[in-house]
Structure 1
Amino acid sequence: MNKFFKYFLAVVLGSMVSAFFFIVGIVMFITILASTASKDVTVKDDSILVLDLNGPVVERTTSDPFEMMLSQLSGQKSPKGLNQILASIKKAKEDDRIRGIYMEAGMISTGYASIEEIRNALIDFRESGKFVHSYAPIYSQRAYYLASAADRVYLNPTGMLEFKGLSSAYTFFKGTLEKLGVEMQVFKHGEFKSAVEPFILESMSDEARLQTETYLNSMWGHITSQIAQSRNLDVESVRATAELFPTFREDTLLISSGLIDGFKYKDEVLSELKKLTGIEEEKDLNAIGVMKYADVYLPGKRKGLEKNKIAVVYAIGEIDGTSGGINSEKLSRTIRQARRDSTIKAIVLRINSPGGSGLGSEIIWREVKLAQEVKPVVVSMGDLAASGGYYIACAADTIIAHPTTLTGSIGVFGLIPNTQELLRKMGITTDRVKTNTFADMPSLDRPFTREEKELMQAYIERFYNVFLQRCADGRDTTTDAINIVGEGRVWSGENALGLDLVDKLGGVSDAVAVAARMAEIETYRVVELPEVLSPIEQIMKGLGGDARARVGRIFFGEEYQIFQTIQDLKTAYPVQARIPYEISVN
């Protein structure tokens, strides 16, 4: 009887605890919904726009309650959307109530091309005569590149500034796979197609090292030249400072090198901002953040009444991966709807993707091609638009990339694991009966036969030839010409411009302007597709695969990429058009 009451009380207590957390969750959900509900935002005269960009910056965000709830639970900052950041900076340039921008972005987390977008927007903003001030206790190298576009760059007196050059590290799994008894059977075309190397090598091949050195040097050359231009410095002196690794040297080096304008505490920076905006010292600044300002309409501006539209279609993430990203069928449907919509006069395809499924890439390419036949299609490349990401871009009328975009990687591969030895170590054996020679192909519990290897390699070669033809047709050249710059090789956007893989250097706003000129329209409004879900729809969607990806990124950070790589291998389409699994540039 005592045990009965013990278990009974345990069940009751467990139910009460579960109910408590459920109620807390409901309260949090309602609170977040209430806080994110649309309100009229008032912008006071002599205001400053605050860019708090510490944390992740992604291509596109909305006021997603699920994302905000996860961020609160994890203690991490919720992602900022590049779309909202750029729109807010552009709007603030025209808003007479905004006197300048105050930026804190010392630990920004995004790629160099995305930083380039924001940086160019800040430079354009300064042309209005308004100020941009940046402050941080610590600047990462990426953050400093962004901050260098400001009028004034301040650092905490005991802070740190990282400036040391670029590096790119790869993680290799070969040793682990051998210990487990797993053999990765590789099929590929492209001597530079290094996506397979982490599974079959212990270090970089000569080809992988060469391509990495090429695009890193291109990126670093662009970054240092832009810093030199913004800071009125000599390029060689900027590179010499990086060689000294100023992070751990005397503070005077940061001043004498011209990297920063001074050391200040935050209260001193705020006092300076008050003087610039005419606010008395004892009063608070009139400040507004990006998320709120994104919903502000300028006085006298019409609220989206233009009939003509340019659609910005987002293609973000791995193509047909298992952890969110691009679903080829859904993206194709979105492009098809934009093609059929007579009010949409042009399409900008915004790509930030390492590629993925070869079949998924072909499915999307088809819709891009059909759209290009009836209305202008312009591609805007983000941090990555490589392999399958380039596949879906090549049919566009015009391709625009940033100098620091990673693109190209025109090549394909297949990875089929053989787990026979692993199963044996576990005491597991398999046997089978089949009616035909290839009835059990592919099998993960045995190695490929010679005939099976020949079949698989032939399929890879055929798909590569299709990839070459798609690129040749899109770029109005020959497959031989594409093959020379192909072979799986990754290029920077600046490299790609010289190789005629892209047409112009610039960002998404440049792509929209090009699309408008091609469509011969002067007045239009930009619509982002696919359409944003309502808060409730976002919560329901968040309970599925997208939520797993978000939770993974929030709680595991950059290490989540390793887990995602292994997970994607389990269900990946056998032919992949993908950039190397882990390209990480500091």
Structure 2
Amino acid sequence: MGQFFKMFFAALLAGIVLMVLPFMVFIGFVSAISSSMNSEPPVVVKQSSALVIDLSAPIMDKAVEDPMAIFTSFSAMAGDIAKPISLRELTEAIARAKDDDKIEGIVFEGEGFGGGLAQLEAIRKAVLDFKESGKFVVSYANLYGQGDYALKSAGTHLFLNPNGMIDVKGLSMTNMFYKGFEDKYGVEVQVFRVGKFKSAVEPFLADKMSEANRLQSRELITTVWDTLSSAMAASRGWTGEQMDYIAANRVGYSASGALENGMVDSLMYENQFRDFVKDSLGAENRVKYSDYVRYMPAPKDGKKSPAPKDRIAVIYAQGEIVYGKGQASQISEKAMRKAFDKAAKSDRVKAVVLRVNSPGGAALTADNIWKMVEDIKKDKPVVVSMGNYAASGGYYISCNADYIFAEPTTLTGSIGVFGYVPNIKKLAAGHGITTDAVSTYPNSADPTFFTPVSDGLGRIIQKSVEETYAQFLSRVADGRGMSVAAVDSIAQGRVWSGVSALKIGLVDELGGMDDALEKAAELAGLEDYSVDEYPKFPSSMDQLLEMFGGGQKTDDARVRALVGDDMFQMYKAARDASQVKEARVMARVPYGMRLEF
């Protein structure tokens, strides 16, 4: 018997070793790669260099480490996979390059723009400021998209491939509708909402835009286009009529048309462009943006000094507002609470800038974040900087700040609430699947995919939606110093641009992150300060270990890249519909609303 147990435990130990050893080897391999990535040699920037920037990579307010970057690092180094760019880091690099004697100018290469409209505005401002130094800003591409061109037109020279094109065409807003699909396949979506403009649930109820939605969409794209087109026209010296002609006729579809209408300065191939930069502009050397941010010289007026004692905390709220822990690309209560607690408890933090880039999401989480803002601003001023979106739940968490900035092209407002519950009762019945239940009370049973919401429960949910909307109005009224009736008149779920939001009192001023930091410093009485950024997300290694330890999370960016925008919107609506038991009441802009620029 003793011999048996010896053999048994020996076999058990061997089994454990065989299971654990490959994982430990794998972790060691990953750690080795990670260490090699973090031990890059120092960057040397030569005299007469051009700072080369490719803006086709994803541009985020705060770049979040990708847990799979370890495996794609070799591809990234080969140029196949672009690492996300931090907006604030990019604008700071451009500002530093302005005063760097080694940098002759900026070269924009690559095709496409990886950011949103508000990020475009922020980078464009940085480029215009850089030009004041007298240094060049030149661009080359085979194809300029509209957002790409709107940004790069701020430069000193624009060049295009002789067979290339520039797609300046105006704006379009497209919504996707599911009502026909529901009717065809026996799917029902029961909707509960408040607000005549709350078009987030419209795709489930109709096969085209309502007149209210069409009105807000048209006015929205008109105000945003006015901002974009005015910027392009000013940079290229066009009149309003010339701008309209260029966009309406899409004259940049041919390279010759682009040249004839002054959209570019010259047509040439890439090798000719590089020779031009070297020979005519005097930039004999090149330094990539990713290298320059590691080099990042001190300001020209002196050596690097120790960071000031006083701090401004920048808290990034980017992505969908969700319940629970969430992902690094989402706004979760847990991450926000940790960030606000750290900022509140730090004696060095004298003010807070809340950078909001969110279409909204879970109403309960939004209200909890609102309370975090309410609590911290009793001791420290809070300034909001709005990014591409600060709509619905995104506006909810912004409305009680001491001061609010939006970019002209920010999509904000959408003060409204909705809930929806899908079921496939008809589809299931057609395939012989039915359900039956007994309950202690008429409303005891929760709806499922096979059972619709009962009339009694429907009234309860609708009441909850109406109460949440009333609370939303009250929060905005208190935060903005308006009456509830005044807020209701501009609410109803309507989406506004930053320009319009300023006119109706939803924001205090048009501006970006730098403006918000200056205002926060002013309110806190600071002359000199440094910036602390929150939330602090796990490293790519920690995220990877968490993934292999269970709880794998869907990365929306990867799904979007795999299936495309249209299929992604359908996937997202279906995924969120499957979570309705946890999140019945939502404050969010439409899932299918896509502003094409």
| TM-score normalized by the length of structure 2 | 0.89
Q: Is the 8 A contact 2:69 2:540 kept in 1?
A: no
Out of 245, 255, 258, the residue aligned to residue 259 of structure 2 is 255
Q: Which residue of 1 aligns with 2:49?
A: 47
Q: CA deviation at 1:560?
A: 3.0
Compared with structure 1, are the counterparts of its residues 231 and 486 closer, same or farther at alpha carbon in structure 2 (3 Å cutoff)? same
The equivalent of 1:289 in structure 2 is 288
Deviation at 1:72, TM superposition (A): 6.1
- Give the distance between the partners of 2:65 and 2:296, measured in 1 at CA: 17
Distance between the aligned counterparts of 1:269 and 1:209, measured in 2?
Answer: 44
Identical amino acids, percent of aligned pairs: 38
Q: Which residue of 2 aligns with 1:551?
A: 558
Cα deviation for residue 65 of structure 1 reads 6.2
Q: 1:16 aligns to what?
A: none
One-letter identity of the residue aligned with 1:241: I
Q: Does 1:565 align with 2:573?
A: yes
State the match for 1:270 in structure 2.
274
Residue by residue over 1:198-247, the C-alpha shift from the partner in whole angstroms, topping out at 9 and shown as x without a partner, is: 11211111111110001100001111111111112212211121111114
Query: What is the aligned partner in structure 1 of residue 316 from structure 2?
Result: 314
User: CA–CA distance in 1 between the matches of 2:306 and 2:124?
Assistant: 27
2:591 is matched with 581
Kindly provide the amino acid, as one letter, of the partner of residue 578 in structure 1. R
1:56 aligns with 2:62: no
1:64, distance to aligned residue in structure 2 (A): 4.8
Contact 2:46–2:102 under 8 Å retained in 1: yes
CA positional deviation for 1:95: 1.8
Task: Mark the CA change 1:519 to 1:479 in structure 2 (over 3 Å): closer, same or farther.
Answer: same
Q: Displacement of 1:562 after TM fit?
A: 2.9
Match of 1:127 in 2: 132
What is the rounded CA distance, in whole Å, between the counterparts of 1:532 and 1:94 in structure 2? 32
Structure 1 counterpart of 2:176 = 171
Identify the range of structure 1 (76-85 vs 140-149) with the bigger mean alpha-carbon deviation: 76-85
Q: TM-score of the superposition, structure 1-length normalised?
A: 0.90
The one-letter code matched in structure 2 to 1:388 is G
- Inter-CA distance 417–535: structure 2 relative to 1 (3 Å threshold): closer
User: For structure 1, which runs of at least 5 residues remain unmatched after alignment?
Assistant: 1-18, 280-284
Q: State which drifts further: 487-496 or 235-244.
A: 235-244
Q: Structure 1, residues 461-516: CA drift from partner, whole Å, max 9, x if none?
A: 11100000000011011111110110000011111111111111111111111111
Which residue of 453, 461, 467 maps to 1:456?
461
Question: Secondary structure of the equivalent of 1:168?
Answer: strand
Contact 2:65/2:539 (8 A) holds in 1:
no
For structure 2, the residue ranges without an aligned partner over 5 or more in a row are 1-20
- How many residues are aligned here? 562
Kept in 1, the 8 Å contact 2:252–2:263? The answer is no
User: Which letter does structure 1 place at the counterpart of 2:45?
Assistant: V
User: In the alignment, what sits opposite 1:430?
Assistant: 435
Judge conservation of contact 1:362–1:392 (CA < 8 Å) in 2: yes
Q: Tell me, what secondary structure is at the counterpart of 2:105?
A: strand
Using a 3 Å threshold, how does the CA distance of structure 1 residues 66 and 456 change in structure 2: closer, same or farther? same
TM-aligned CA distance change 1:515 to 1:276, over 3 Å = farther
Judged with a 3 Å threshold, the aligned counterparts in structure 2 of structure 1 residues 24 and 553 are, in CA distance, closer, same or farther, namely farther
Please give the alpha-carbon distance, in whole angstroms, between the structure 1 residues aligned to 2:224 and 2:203. Answer: 24
2:593 maps to a residue whose letter is: I
Contact 1:29–1:65 (CA under 8 A) maintained in structure 2:
no
The verdict on how the C-alpha distance between 1:22 and 1:302 changes in structure 2, with shifts beyond 3 A counting, is: same
Cα distance in 2 for partners of 1:73, 1:288 equals: 20
The residue type equivalent to 1:57 in the other structure is: I
Alpha-carbon distance between aligned partners in 2 of 1:581 and 1:377, rounded to the nearest angstrom: 30
Question: 5 Å matches for 1:370-409?
Answer: 370-409=375-414
1:467 equivalenced with 2:472 (yes/no): yes
Listed as ranges, the matches of 1:84-233 within 5 Å are 84-233=89-238
1:15 — aligned with what? Answer: none
Alignment check: 8 A CA contact 1:297 1:303 kept: no
1:332-347 superposed matches below 5 A: 332-347=337-352
Q: Which amino acid aligns with 1:218?
A: T
Q: Which residue, 351, 357, 360 being the options, matches 2:356?
A: 351
Does the residue aligned with 1:334 lie in a helix, a strand or coil?
helix
Q: What's the RMSD between the two structures over aligned residues?
A: 2.5
Matched position secondary structure for 2:181? helix
Q: CA deviation at 1:35?
A: 3.0
- The one-letter code matched in structure 2 to 1:551 is R
SS in 2 for 1:236: helix
Q: Which residue of 2 aligns with 1:9?
A: none
Distance in structure 1 (CA, Å) of the matches to 2:288 and 2:541: 25
1:134-189: CA deviation from partner (whole Å, max 9, x where unpaired): 11110011111111111111111111110111001111112222233121101000
Please say which of residues 550-559 and 169-178 is displaced more in the overlay: 550-559
8 Å contact from structure 2 (residues 186, 427) kept in 1? yes
Give distance in 2, aligned partners of 1:296 and 1:531.
Answer: 23
Letter of the structure 2 residue corresponding to residue 115 of structure 1: L
Which aligned pairs between 1:33-44 and structure 2 lie closer than 5 A?
Answer: 33-37=35-39, 39-44=41-46
Give the one of 57, 67, 70 matched to 2:69.
Answer: 67
Q: Deviations over 1:242-288 (max 9, x none)?
A: 11111435x34322322211112112221122135535xxxxx4222
CA distance in 2, matches of 1:65, 1:271: 39
> Larger deviation: 71-80 or 412-421?
71-80
Aligned residues of 2:33 and 2:70 also touching (Cα < 8 A): no
CA contact (8 A) 1:105 1:143 kept: no
1:534-553 Cα shifts (integer Å, max 9, x gaps): 34224335655556334324
Please give the secondary structure, in 1, of the residue aligned with 2:191: strand
> Aligned letter for 2:354?
L
> Are residues 1:502 and 2:470 paired?
no
